[in-house]
Amino acid sequence: MKIALAQLNYHIGNFEANTKKIIDHIELARDKGADLVVFAELAICGYPPRDFLEFDEFISLCEEAAQEIARHCREIACIVGLPIKNDILQGKDLYNAAYFIENGNVKAIAKKALLPTYDVFDEYRYFEPATEFGCIEFKGKKIALTICEDLWNINDNPLYVSNPMDELIKEEPDVMINIAASPFSYTHDDARIKVLSDNAKKYHLPVFYVNQVGAQTEIIFDGGSLVFDADGEMKAEMKYFEEDLQVFDLSEIENVRNKYPKSERLTDIEQIHDALVLGIKDYFRKSGFSKAVLGLSGGIDSAVVCALACSALGAENVMAVLMPSKFSSDHSVQDAIDLVNNFGCMQEIIPIKEVAQAFDAVLAPAFKGLPFNLTEENIQARTRGTIVMAMSNKFGYILLNTSNKSECAVGYGTLYGDMCGAIGVIGDVYKTQVFELAKYINKDRELIPVNTIVKPPSAELRPDQKDSDSLPDYEVLDKILYHHIEEKQGSKSIIAKGFDEALVQRVLKLVNIAEFKRYQTPPILRVSPKAFGMGRRMPIVGKYLI
């Protein structure tokens, strides 16, 4: 039996485009000699559809699309994911399901049993878990078909009390097929490989796993579909961050070594770079926009975001707005101009000195001679925010936010100023990782000026200002933040690692009191195991750690 894995980029709710893409790849797989082609979890509607699932019309459109797909399944079978109705009154109204289609008809239905409700997942909000399981017979083989999380209950601390494969294995299947929508993080590929390999070893069956690729707002899917033999050895690893279709012979997976290629493994920074480029590209393409605007300060954050946007959209579609103030250094302006020249993107220079002075003059009577402080610094940042939003409104540009994760974490940013935007590009990238990204972008030639990389970071909102005036050294700060955010450790655990007690308590307090700011920021492209946004839900008025 020849099995094709179709790793595709879907668009949530775009039934016409998704259906056409699936049908086109059914025909491509048939032309390549496949007997069966496998598509991802909820491929028909796109993942995650979220509250679209609450509309009956949405579910009906999924079924109509599935029937159209079925009409094209001649001389080839397919597996495709979609939501279906639960006909039993008790329980949730839907199942997360997969159709097995053969000779134009739905021959079998597999339903997802293990419904993740953690981090970015919220499936139990919508779906009823499956309680009945059965293998699918095709071409003289028995297929154990599961959906994503159904294979993840295999570690030392299982999240669920049951395991679908423990039931399916009783029917003595010949192969496991798992369809998934497995979001990217730069640590997830290794975990994914281990889980699938462990399943192959435990049940002594080959595993065919297909993941989707592409970005859905803040969630990025990296592809990397996989095939394992019954000993748990990886036999094939499909492309990352690209659509791909490959055909595998089941008999060769069982008996032949090293026939199918594996993708070259990427470093964490390479993965983050490619994920962010894909995230920007899909946010614009799927939203129907093509041009971006951002404030370019001469600092490393905006430089990296500009570079990523030029890679994703083309430099001709990126507008960099330089907004020097009376505190901006000459070298910062020149660094920004040099970067624009290196990439060839559009640019405007709009000084903010007169605008900020106008605010100072208007507010002077109310401020009653009080000294310059954070208020005036924020006025400058909000002036810049107003200008880039004006450029967005006037020309139809989409504003890219340039705040990094370190700043977002401790609230080192101005609401309605440098924190505004439609999508946060590097809000899940720590400052130390931003420096690594800049060096990676410069791997072949100097695109980001070296001075931008080596100079001390500064918001330049007051004379001789440096980030280090307000924050610990980023090398230390980012380690504390990682332990707290990604590893979910409290102050005692972090202090026990050797960090200064007062510093840890200060940092964690900053993180928690900044929650009200993060609540109002744009969606942030997720590249880490724990990103700000729907994957990290904290109370704004909570007292813990403050």
Boundary-marking domain end, from 408, 433, 467: 467
Count of domains observed in the chain: 2
**Does residue 490 belong to any structural domain of this protein?**
no
Q: Are residues 195 and 94 part of one domain?
A: yes
In angstroms, the CA 516 to CA 419 distance is 12
Active site residue 102: no
- Mean per-residue pLDDT of the chain: 94
Write down which residue in 442, 467, 492 finishes a domain.
Answer: 467
Between 197 and 464, name the one with better pLDDT.
197
Same domain, 459 and 345: yes
The last residue of a domain, from among 444, 467, 490: 467
Same domain? 156 vs 72 = yes
Is 92 part of the annotated catalytic residue set? no
> Do 312 and 183 belong to one domain?
no
Residue among 21, 112, 235, 431 flagged as catalytic: 112
> Residue ranges for the binding site?
118, 182, 295-302, 378, 402, 407, 517
State the Cα angle at 526 between 539 and 277, rounded to 5°: 150
Q: Is residue 473 one of the residues assigned to a domain?
A: no
Average pLDDT over residues 431-448: 96
Confidence of residue 462 (pLDDT cuts 50, 70, 90): low
Instruction: Identify which has the larger pLDDT, 332 or 275.
Output: 275
Residue 55 reports pLDDT greater than 90: yes
Residue 352 within any structural domain of the chain: yes
pLDDT in tens, 320-359: 999 998 876 667 889 999 999 999 999 999 999 999 999 9
- Please check whether residues 259 and 298 belong to one and the same domain: no
CATH of the domain at 249: 3.60.110.10
Helix (H, G, I), strand (E, B) or coil at 452: helix
pLDDT at 203 exceeding the cut of 90:
yes
Check whether residue 379 and residue 256 sit in a common domain: no
Is 318 found in the same domain as 245? no
| pLDDT tens, residue by residue, 392-421 | 999 999 999 999 999 999 999 999 999 999
Q: Could you tell me if 81 and 145 lie in one domain? A: yes
The answer to the question of residue 259 being in a domain is yes
> Which residues have C-beta within 8 Å of that of residue 446, sequence separation ≥ 6?
342
Do residues 393 and 448 both lie within one domain?
yes
Long-range contacts (CB closer than 8 Å, 24 or more residues apart) made by 281-288: 281/215, 281/312, 281/313, 282/9, 282/214, 282/215, 282/216, 283/215, 283/217, 283/398, 283/422, 283/423, 283/525, 284/312, 284/313, 284/398, 286/11, 286/12, 286/14, 286/215, 286/216, 287/398
Residue tagged active-site, from 41, 123, 128, 149: 41
One domain, residues 49 and 153: yes
For residues 211 and 116, membership in a common domain is answered with yes
Average pLDDT, integer, range 26-39: 98
Domain of residue 334, residue span? 271-467
Is the residue at 195 inside a domain? Answer: yes
Q: What pLDDT was estimated at residue 325?
A: 86
**Between the CA of residue 33 and those of 2, 77, 527, what are the distances in Å?**
7, 12, 37
Find the CATH number of the domain harbouring 442: 3.40.50.620
Q: Which tens digit of pLDDT belongs to each residue from 65-106?
A: 999 999 999 999 999 999 999 999 999 999 999 999 999 999
Please tell me whether residues 214 and 362 are part of one structural domain.
no
Residue 95 lies in a domain: yes
pLDDT of residue 464: 67
| Domain-embedded: residue 483 | no
pLDDT class for 307, splitting at 50, 70, 90?
A: very high
Residue 546 placed within a domain: no
Does 41 qualify as catalytic in the annotation? yes
Query: Catalytic one among 45, 78, 148, 345?
Result: 148
Residue among 44, 49, 48, 88 at smallest CA distance from 67: 44
Identity (one letter) of the amino acid at 249? D
pLDDT surpassing 80 at residue 459: no
Instruction: Output the known binding site for ATP.
Output: 295-302, 402
